[in-house]
Amino acid sequence: MSRRSMIGGSAALCALPALALPTGAGAGATATDPAARLHALLDESAAADQRLDPLSTTKPAGAAVFIDPLSDAYATALLGQKQREMATLATIARARLGADDRIAYDVLSYRAQQMLDTFASGAFRTAQLAPLDPSFGLQVELPDFVTGAGAPFANEADYEAGLARLEGFAGHMDKTIERLREGRALGVVQPQIIVANMLRQVDATLAVPVADSAFFKAARRFPDSLSQARRASLVKAYREVIEQRVYPGYQSWRDYLRGTYLAHATTAPGRWAMKGGQALYAAELSRHTTTQRSAEDIHTLGLLEVARIRGEMEEVRSKVGFSGDLKAFFEHIRTDPQYYYKTPQQLLARFKAIEAKIWPAIPKLFHDRPRAPFEVRPLPALGDQRGTGYYRPGEPDGVSPGILFFNMSMLSTRPIPTLETLTLHEGIPGHHFQLTLARENTALPAILRNNMSTAFTEGWGLYAESLGPELGMFGDLMQWFGHLDMEILRAIRLVVDTGLHERRWDRDKAIAYMLDNSSMAPKDVAVEIDRYIAYPGQACAYKIGELKLRELRERSAAALQARFDVRDYHREALNTGALPIDVLDTKITAWIASRGLAT
C-alpha cells in the first residue's frame, strides 16, 4: 500500500463492525441492473476504505477518526472487505456495463485481488511486523497533515476530531513497539539504517517544544466561531494530549529502538535479509508497478536506460564546452554556487516564473486544465531529514490549490537546472493535472477520481517531464541537462532498488552507483537510497509507468496516423484517473480500435 493506505489509530475500535459491507452489496439497486449494482458496491467500498484511512478528509458520518493499521481488527476488516468485493463483482455482468463502468469494475477487481494476494502470500503479515518507515510513516505524514495541509480545522467538531486523531496516533505508536517485539521473536527484523533514521526523526521531534510542534499548530489558530473560553479549553486539551500521550509515545520509541531493537537489526539493508522479505518484495514490486515484471527484468531495464541517458548527457557536456569527464561535470554542478539559490524567496520566485512560462503552451497538448490553482509552499516539518518534497491535491472544489510542498532546507542541494523539470513533474502538466482533473470530474465513480496507482501517477509525472520541449521548455542547455539528470535518477532507481532488495547490494554500493551516474548531492543521494531501503518497489514505478505511457502514445499515433491528435490521447489517458498499467493498456487499445472516438 502507498503511504496514503497506511491506515491507522487505536482510537475507536468499537466502530469496526461498521466497516463490513452489507450482505448482498447493492441490494438497494435494481437486482438486474449491473450498473446500479456496481455503483452501490463502489460506494460501499469507498466508504469502507475511508473509514480505515487516517488521512482521509471525507470520512462517512459516524466513522472513527483513526483506526490502527497494525491491529488484528484492521487486518480482519480489510481482508473481509476485499473478499466481499470480489464475491460481489463475480455476480455483476461486466459486459453489460458502459465504458467508464467497465474500467471502474476492472480497477476495483484489480485492487481487491492484489490485496487478497498480499494476504495469501504472507506479505501482509510480514509488513505488519516490519512497520518502521522513515520516509512515509505516520510519524512524518501525520505532522504534515495536521498543520492544515490536509486536516480541516474549520469548526469545533474538526478540533475535537483533531484531538481524537492525536490520541489514536499515540495508540498507533504503542502498537508499533508491540509489532516490532513480535517480529523480533519470529525473526522478522528491519535494517539498522532504518532504525538509525527513525531515531534521528524521533530525536528531532522531541527537541521541539510542544508549543512549537506541528501537532500543536491547530491550537495556535481558531475560527471566529469559537468563543474565547472554548479556545482556551482546546489549547489546554491539545497541550495535554501532546505532553501526556504523543511525546511520551516518541520517547517510548526512542527507548525501545535505541535500547533494544537496534542491537538485533540487520546490517544488510535489503528485503532479502529479512525472514519473509523476498515474498514481501515481490508483492511490493507488483503493487507499485501494477505489472508482473520480475526484479531481474526491472534491473536489466534500468541498466539499459541509464546507458541511453548517459549518452545524451555526454552530448550536453560536450556542447557546453566542459573539458572534464561526465563524473567531473556532475561534481561541477554539485559544487558551483551559480547553480543554487541562496534564499527560499528566490526559489519560490523561480517556480512562479516557470509556471507562467508553461501555461501559454498547454493548449497545444491538452484540451483540459484543472480549475484549481497550483502553488509551491515550503515542506512543513523535518526538512533536513527528508527528500525534495511531494505534491498534495486540494479538495475537489475547483478553488483549493494543489500544493507542491518543496524542501527549502539545504538550498545548496537544490540545483537550479532541475527546477523546470520538477515543475513539469509535480505541477503542470504533471501531478496537478493528473490528480486534480480526476478529482474535479464528479461524473466519475469515486474509485476513479481518487485512485492512486503508483505506476500511473508517478509514470505520468515523469512522462509530463518529457513534454518539456513541446511546451517550449529546456531552451537553456543546462535546464536540458537538469532534465536528463532527473530522468536518469528514475532509471537509476530501477537498478538500485532491485540491487538492494534482490541482488544483495549493500548501502554503500547503491550510493556509489547513484553518485557515479547523477549530479545529485551526496546528502540527497543518502536520503534517496534510504527511502528505497525503507519503501521498496515504489521507486521502480516511475520509469515503468512513463515508458508505458510513451509506448501507448506512439502506438496510438502509428495506428491513427492523420486522425491522431495528442490532445485526444492525453484526454483519454487522464479522463478515468490513475489506472493499473494493464487496465490502461486495455483502455487505450479499445480507444485506438474505435478510431480515436471517445469510448
Q: Convert the pLDDT of each residue in 324-333 to its tens digit.
A: 999 999 999 9
Q: What whole-number distance in Å separates Cα of residue 411 and Cα of residue 433?
A: 27
Closest to 248 measured CA to CA, from 182, 166, 179, 181: 166
Please indicate whether residue 10 or residue 396 has the higher confidence score (pLDDT). 396
Return all residues near 461 (Cβ < 8 A) that are at least 6 apart.
425, 426, 430, 431, 434, 542
User: Per the confidence metrics, is the pTM higher than 0.95?
Assistant: no
Confidence of residue 149 (pLDDT cuts 50, 70, 90): low
Distances (CA, A) of 188 to 206, 217, 272, 278, 568: 28, 37, 11, 12, 49
Q: What whole-number distance in Å separates Cα of residue 72 and Cα of residue 120?
A: 16
Q: What whole-number distance in Å separates Cα of residue 432 and Cα of residue 90?
A: 35
Read off the pLDDT of each residue in 271-293 and give the average, rounded to a whole number.
95
| Antiparallel, parallel or unpaired: β 389-392 and 402-406 | antiparallel
Q: Where are the domains of the chain?
A: 3-128, 138-267, 289-370+411-541, 549-593
At 75 the pLDDT is 94
For residue 133, is pLDDT > 50?
yes
Return all residues near 578 (Cβ < 8 A) that are at least 6 apart.
434, 435, 438, 451, 452, 453, 456, 457, 460
Q: Is 96 helix (H, G, I), strand (E, B) or coil?
A: helix
Sign for the CA dihedral angle at 418, 422, 425, 428 comes to: negative
Say if CB 12 and CB 67 are below 8 A apart.
Answer: yes
| Residue keyed to cell 465504458 | 99
Read off the pLDDT of each residue in 248-275 and give the average, rounded to a whole number.
98
Sign for the CA dihedral angle at 505, 510, 512, 518 comes to: positive
Range list of β-strands (E), 484-560? none
Read off the pLDDT of each residue in 511-527 and give the average, rounded to a whole number.
91
Q: Convert the pLDDT of each residue in 293-323 to its tens digit.
A: 999 999 999 999 999 999 999 999 999 999 9
For residue 192, is pLDDT > 80?
yes
Closest to 68 measured CA to CA, from 21, 159, 153, 138: 138
Which of 5-14, 129-138, 207-216, 343-352 shows the lowest per-residue confidence on average (mean pLDDT)?
Answer: 5-14
Read off the pLDDT of each residue in 92-114 and give the average, rounded to a whole number.
94
At 597 the pLDDT is 56
Read off the pLDDT of each residue in 281-298 and give the average, rounded to a whole number.
95
Please indicate whether residue 135 or residue 317 has the higher confidence score (pLDDT). 317
For residue 128, is pLDDT > 80?
yes
For residue 5, is pLDDT > 50?
no
Distances (CA, A) of 14 to 9, 17, 175, 367: 12, 7, 17, 48
- Which grid cell is 404? 507542491
At 463 the pLDDT is 98
Confidence of residue 336 (pLDDT cuts 50, 70, 90): very high
What sections of 187-294 are H helices per DSSP?
192-206, 228-241, 247-256, 277-289
Confidence of residue 421 (pLDDT cuts 50, 70, 90): very high
Q: What whole-number distance in Å separates Cα of residue 410 and Cα of residue 331?
A: 17
- Which grid cell is 236? 489546554
| Phi, psi (deg, nearest 5) at residue 566 | -60, -30
- Which grid cell is 244? 501526556
Say if CB 451 and CB 580 are below 8 A apart.
Answer: no
